[in-house]
């Protein structure tokens, strides 16, 4: 018997609060990282954009302003400038990149921060020189823009990016302090919300203790059954209903068992009484000839009836306990043909025919047990038709199931009785309650079929009765 693992009974309130606070902390960390990355990229992008503006403005001055003068104007804005003319002459102005790295000029926004950032002198005369291609390189401290102009010259501008780090450091401190405040507020708010939300669990505990002390009529009656607490309350109410009904169910089961034993004893008493009476007569009376033979035949007939009832009771007990099946792959057509050949030997007046498909219908089953199912159904049909009717056995397939139907032209079974006839020792009035049966044939047939993974049902039909045996097809 499997043992369920112990239920983890830690504080749900504490676990919920910790889980929510940890989740909020993780979200704040993710938000801080996103803000840090996005802000850093934005500040660096602004520096690159300003360098491109200055490169474009400088290109428009080429040819109208001397390269040394142009480089000097650009370096006044805190840029490291290098102009290489088309002839190979170069002009360098402003601080070197190493000086920018060690002591960056300007504020956190880098060169040209504020309104003066765009104070590059406008040209007095236009030129046809423009920026052909630009390439941005750099690291955490520097941003370098190398632009190739249409006249073949090259303009290299380098700006400091160290101010970005200072700005991001300030933002990180602000985010850290804000996150701590948010976490404190979240912990307090979650504590209040969780305490109020879990209050119904305290009511569940009180009701459960009251039920355990004997107040079986107590119920929770949740207003909603689709929530977590509603499902727990509904499950507790259902469990209590089962517990309260268990005693009544046990009494009903005991009553059914007593009724079954009483019916079985009654069925056995009749043949046993006949055997006893006939045996007493044979022993005490001096009988010869036909009278003695008649009594001996009566004893044999009643003994066979009692033996058949005992066999049925034992089979029913095996079905309840679990049948041991000797399975083999067999063709249902051959099983039905064998039953059709057997019937005339047992019921000479019964007219039987078979409807079989051309293709084989393989199943993995116990041939002896399936033969018993068909025999019980044919015997039931024989009693229903007064042993002189017509019985049709048909084999077919339906989806992944094989189907054997047994139909007769008797009085049929009312829809209300089509399940009741599968109860033990139940015999309907009229033809099916005629002599011979004790009401175990159909329950045995269904039990054997279900042991094979199938079923036996009484289905609707226009005339007479029709029983269907379904079995899984052998793939």
pLDDT for 7: 59
Q: What is the 3-state secondary structure (H, E, C) of the chain?
A: CCCCCCCCCCCHHHHHHHHHHHHHHHHHHHHHHHHHHHHHHHHHHHHHHHHHHHHHHHHHHECCECHHHHHHHHHCCCCEEEEECCCCCEEEECCCHHHHHHCCCCECCECCCCHHHHCCCCCCCCCCCCEEEEEEEECCCEEEEEEEECCCCEEEEEEECHHHHHHHHHHHHHHHHHHHHHHHHHHHHHHHHHHHHCHHHHHHHHHHHHHHCCCCCCCCCCCCCCCHHHHHHHHHHHHHHHHHHHHHHHHHHHHHHHHHHHHHHHHHHHHHHHHHHHHHHHHHCCCCCHHHHHHHHHHHHHHHHHHHHHHHHHHHHHHHHCCCCCCEEEEHHHHHHHHHHHHHHHCCCCEEEEECCCCCCEEEECHHHHHHHHHHHHHHHHHHCCCCCEEEEEEEEECCEEEEEEEECCCCCCHHHCCHHHCCCCCCCHHHHCCCCCCCHHHHHHHHHHHCCCEEEEECCCCCEEEEEEEEECC
Backbone angles phi, psi at 361, to 5 degrees: -120, 85
- Token pair for residue 385? 């038709």
pLDDT tens digits, 21-32:
899 999 999 999
pLDDT for 249: 74
Which of 79-88, 157-166, 185-194, 260-269 is predicted least confidently?
Answer: 260-269
Distance CA 123, CA 62 (A): 9
CB contact at 8 A, 154 and 37: no
More confident residue, 259 or 443: 443
More confident residue, 13 or 376: 376
pLDDT for 140: 81
pLDDT tens digits, 72-90:
888 888 888 898 888 888 8
**C-alpha closest to that of 146 among 161, 160, 130, 157:** 157
Which of 140-149, 222-231, 444-453 is predicted least confidently?
Answer: 222-231
pLDDT for 124: 43
Q: Is the pLDDT of residue 449 over 90?
A: yes
pLDDT for 206: 81
Average pLDDT of span 108-132: 49
Which of 143-147, 187-191, 268-272, 415-419 is predicted least confidently?
Answer: 268-272
pLDDT tens digits, 61-71:
887 888 888 88
pLDDT for 89: 84
**C-alpha closest to that of 469 among 389, 388, 369, 345:** 369
pLDDT for 12: 73
Residue reference for tokens 């006839």: 421
- Token pair for residue 311? 């066999």
Distance CA 291, CA 358 (A): 54
pLDDT for 276: 77
More confident residue, 338 or 110: 338
Residue 107 pLDDT grade (very low, low, confident, very high; cuts 50, 70, 90): very low
Cα 23 versus chain centre, distance: 27
pLDDT for 364: 95
User: What separation in angstroms does the CA of 55 have from each of 119, 131, 134?
Assistant: 13, 7, 9
pLDDT for 452: 92
- Token pair for residue 314? 């034992």
More confident residue, 209 or 30: 30
List, in sequence order, every residue forming a beta bridge with 459; answer none if it has no partner.
466
Distance CA 264, CA 270 (A): 10
pLDDT tens digits, 124-176:
444 578 888 889 888 888 889 999 888 888 989 998 888 888 888 899 899 99
Average pLDDT of span 114-122: 38
Average pLDDT of span 189-195: 86
Q: Is the pLDDT of residue 119 over 70?
A: no
Residue 438 pLDDT grade (very low, low, confident, very high; cuts 50, 70, 90): low
Residue 201 pLDDT grade (very low, low, confident, very high; cuts 50, 70, 90): confident
Distance CA 211, CA 209 (A): 5
pLDDT for 95: 85
User: What separation in angstroms does the CA of 190 have from each of 17, 20, 182, 202, 404?
Assistant: 6, 7, 12, 18, 65
């Amino acid at each position: 018997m499997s043992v369920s693992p112990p239920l983890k009974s830690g504080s749900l309130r504490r676990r919920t609060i910790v889980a929510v606070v940890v989740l909020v902390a993780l979200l704040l960390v993710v938000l801080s990282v996103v803000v840090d990355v996005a802000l850093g990229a934005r500040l660096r992008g602004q520096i690159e954009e300003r360098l491109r503006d200055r490169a474009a403005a400088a290109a428009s001055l080429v040819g109208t302003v001397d390269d040394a003068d142009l480089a000097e104007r650009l370096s006044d804005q805190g840029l490291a400038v290098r102009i290489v003319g088309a002839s190979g002459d170069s002009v360098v102005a402003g601080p070197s990149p190493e000086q920018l790295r060690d002591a960056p000029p300007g504020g956190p926004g880098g060169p040209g921060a504020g309104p003066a950032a765009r104070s590059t002198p406008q040209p007095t005369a236009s030129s046809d020189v423009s920026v052909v291609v630009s390439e941005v390189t750099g690291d955490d401290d520097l941003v370098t823009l190398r632009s190739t102009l249409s006249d073949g010259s090259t303009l290299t501008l380098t700006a400091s990016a160290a101010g970005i780090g200072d700005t991001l450091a300030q933002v990180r401190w602000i985010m850290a302090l804000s996150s701590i405040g948010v976490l404190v507020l979240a912990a307090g708010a979650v504590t209040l919300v969780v305490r109020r939300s879990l209050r119904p669990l305290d009511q569940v505990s009180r009701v459960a203790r009251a039920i355990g002390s004997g107040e079986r009529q107590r119920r929770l009656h949740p207003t909603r059954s689709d929530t977590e607490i509603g499902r727990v309350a509904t499950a507790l109410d259902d469990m209590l209903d089962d517990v309260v009904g268990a005693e009544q169910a046990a009494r009903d089961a005991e009553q059914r068992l007593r009724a079954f034993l009483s019916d079985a004893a009654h069925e056995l008493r009749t043949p046993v009484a006949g055997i006893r009476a006939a045996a007493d007569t044979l022993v005490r009376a001096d009988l010869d000839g036909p009278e003695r033979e008649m009594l001996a035949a009566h004893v044999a007939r009643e003994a066979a009836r009692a033996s058949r009832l005992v066999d049925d009771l034992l089979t029913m007990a095996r079905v309840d306990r679990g049948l041991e099946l000797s399975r083999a792959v067999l063709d249902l057509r051959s099983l039905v043909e064998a039953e059709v050949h057997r019937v005339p030997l047992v019921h000479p007046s019964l007219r039987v025919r078979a409807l079989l498909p051309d293709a084989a219908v393989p199943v993995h089953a116990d041939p002896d047990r399936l033969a018993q199912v068909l025999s019980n159904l044919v015997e039931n049909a024989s009693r229903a038709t007064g042993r002189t009717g017509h019985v049709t056995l048909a084999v077919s397939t339906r989806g992944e199931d094989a189907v054997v139907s047994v139909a007769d032209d008797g009085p049929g079974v009312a829809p209300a009785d089509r399940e009741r006839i599968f109860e033990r020792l139940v015999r309907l009035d009229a033809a099916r309650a005629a002599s011979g049966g004790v009401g175990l044939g159909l329950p045995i047939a269904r039990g054997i079929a279900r042991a094979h993974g199938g079923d036996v049902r009484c289905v609707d039909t226009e005339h007479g009765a029709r029983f269907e045996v379904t079995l899984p097809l052998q793939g």
